[in-house]
Amino acid sequence: MAQIWPEQRSSAGGVRTRSLVKACLENDWRVTFFAYSKENSFSDELRSLGVKIIQIPLEETALQALLLAEQPNITIFDRFMTEEQFGWRIRELFPKCLRIIDTIDLHFLRQQREKGAFDETLPRELASLYRSDLNLLISTFEMEYIQTEFEFPKELLAYVPFFYEKAECGLSYSERSHFMFIGNYRHPPNFEAAQYLAKEIWPGIKSQVPFAELHLYGAYPRKEIVDLQNSSMRIFFRGATPDQYETLKKYRVNLAPILFGAGLKGKITDAWSVGTPCVSTPVGAEGLLPNPSLWGGLIADRGPDFVQAAIRLYEDEVLWQSSSGRGIAILHELFSRERESPRFIQLLEEKWQEKQRRTKENTIATLLWHHAHQSTKYFSRWILEKNKRSP
């Protein structure tokens, strides 16, 4: 269940969701995808794979009828906010249904890094994770972080990374040119990174590589992003790309000066899959590999260090080739779809069987269901009654 249909051309989260769907389909499971959004090209793509598409109705009894018709054994919520809305419905209608959150990233960690302090997202997200039978994390860093900092029970967590079918270099160093940035600009880390790159990083690069260009790609740009285009500075906004891989493979260097965030950065791993090395910050590289010397590019702090790293990677062909090869090797080693997809299916099967044998939920989950989560349940029922009385 999700807020929107997975957008694999504009969002790493969309690529991630689609990969999990495909894994289930390849295991001959029946997959139904519920989302609030109206049907569009992204829902059409899911349908073409053999997925049943259902737009979530606003009226609760209609939603309940649709859920009862599906009789799910496993429900996966994309992010904790979706579980807040629909988790109690699944629990009441299907007590033995395995309820899973695919976190994509830890929202409370990302917001803490953005704002400098935790806000209400922290207790909301932790409560949601406790209520669920299993929570998928894509970052080894976040697996360790949530257990160390919050003593979160390991048995409710599972590491399930990105899946990549293949990775190969394609175009050579000499066949590529220019720098690029790609990201969905609805995502605050991308919005901030693009502005920081154009205003603070790029002038230093251009002063030493005057004929290079910076191309900005991504969906849902705000005016501030479009206005970064500056032909005299050789900055060009290209908008959304129909195929991120075809776009990424043409460039010599992928720049990802991420200032805050969480999870894994799909812009980096997508680039590696076509042999494009990357310069990123420690936050951007987090969770991808613990040893920076084996990273698929260069890791640098903001400012002059980032500028010099970008120039080195762009001009040094030997460094570029070794970085390109390392990125491809990392994907083969850590994110192989051939290996990780069956592991994901095995995990779901084992957890589902375990729940069928279980006689009670963990104590904290029981307390959360009894108290705090009732507010969400009855608020949704108030909306139902309000809609009934509307003319």
12-61 pLDDT, tens digit per residue, is 788 889 999 999 999 999 999 999 889 998 899 999 999 999 999 878 78
For residue 346, the model assigns a pLDDT of 97
Confidence of residue 379 (pLDDT cuts 50, 70, 90): low
Say how far apart CA 83 and CA 77 lie, in whole Å: 6
The enclosing H or E element of 53 equals strand 52-55
**Domains of the chain in sequence order:** 12-163+338-389 (3.40.50.2000), 179-334 (3.40.50.2000)
Do 12 and 270 form a contact (C-beta atoms < 8 A)? yes
For residue 169, the model assigns a pLDDT of 86
Say how far apart CA 196 and CA 352 lie, in whole Å: 45
For residue 213, the model assigns a pLDDT of 98
For residue 14, the model assigns a pLDDT of 84
3-state secondary structure of 32: strand
pLDDT (average), residues 267-291? 90
Quick one: which of 130, 136, 234, 230 has its CA closest to 179? 234
Q: In the predicted model, is pLDDT for residue 364 greater than 90?
A: no
5 or 384: which leads in pLDDT: 5
pLDDT (average), residues 350-362? 88
- Say if residue 193 is exposed, middle or buried (CB neighbours under 10 Å; 0-12, 13-18, 19+): buried
Q: In the predicted model, is pLDDT for residue 193 greater than 60?
A: yes
Q: Which two tokens stand for residue 377?
A: 């349940």
363 or 103: which leads in pLDDT: 103
For residue 307, the model assigns a pLDDT of 97
For residue 359, the model assigns a pLDDT of 77
Q: In the predicted model, is pLDDT for residue 383 greater than 90?
A: no
- Say if residue 238 is exposed, middle or buried (CB neighbours under 10 Å; 0-12, 13-18, 19+): middle
Q: In the predicted model, is pLDDT for residue 349 greater than 80?
A: yes
218 or 390: which leads in pLDDT: 218
For residue 179, the model assigns a pLDDT of 98
For residue 387, the model assigns a pLDDT of 55
Pairing of strands 235-239, 214-217: parallel
Q: Which two tokens stand for residue 324?
A: 């390109």
Task: Give percent above pLDDT 90 in the chain.
Answer: 73
Q: In the predicted model, is pLDDT for residue 166 greater than 60?
A: yes
Backbone φ/ψ region at 224: left (φ over 0), alpha (ψ -120 to 50), beta: alpha
Mean pLDDT, the chain, as a whole number?
90
For residue 182, the model assigns a pLDDT of 96
Confidence of residue 108 (pLDDT cuts 50, 70, 90): very high
For residue 376, the model assigns a pLDDT of 59
For residue 58, the model assigns a pLDDT of 79
- Say if residue 229 is exposed, middle or buried (CB neighbours under 10 Å; 0-12, 13-18, 19+): middle
Q: Please tell me the least confidently modeled range out of 71-75, 251-255, 294-298.
A: 294-298
Tokens 């969002």 sit on residue: 11
Would you say the C-alpha torsion 369, 147, 138, 340 has a positive or negative sign? Answer: negative
Confidence of residue 7 (pLDDT cuts 50, 70, 90): confident
**Per-residue pLDDT tens over the stretch 302-327:** 889 999 999 999 999 999 999 999 99
Q: In the predicted model, is pLDDT for residue 373 greater than 60?
A: no
For residue 77, the model assigns a pLDDT of 96
**Looking at the chain, how many residues does it have?**
391
**Per-residue pLDDT tens over the stretch 133-164:** 999 999 999 999 999 999 999 999 999 999 98
Q: In the predicted model, is pLDDT for residue 257 greater than 70?
A: yes
- Say if residue 174 is exposed, middle or buried (CB neighbours under 10 Å; 0-12, 13-18, 19+): exposed
Q: How far apart are the first and last CA of the chain?
A: 30
| Residues paired with 75 in a beta bridge | 99
Q: In the predicted model, is pLDDT for residue 371 greater than 70?
A: no
Say how far apart CA 92 and CA 34 lie, in whole Å: 18
Q: In the predicted model, is pLDDT for residue 384 greater than 60?
A: no
| Helix and strand element counts for the chain (H, E) | 18, 12
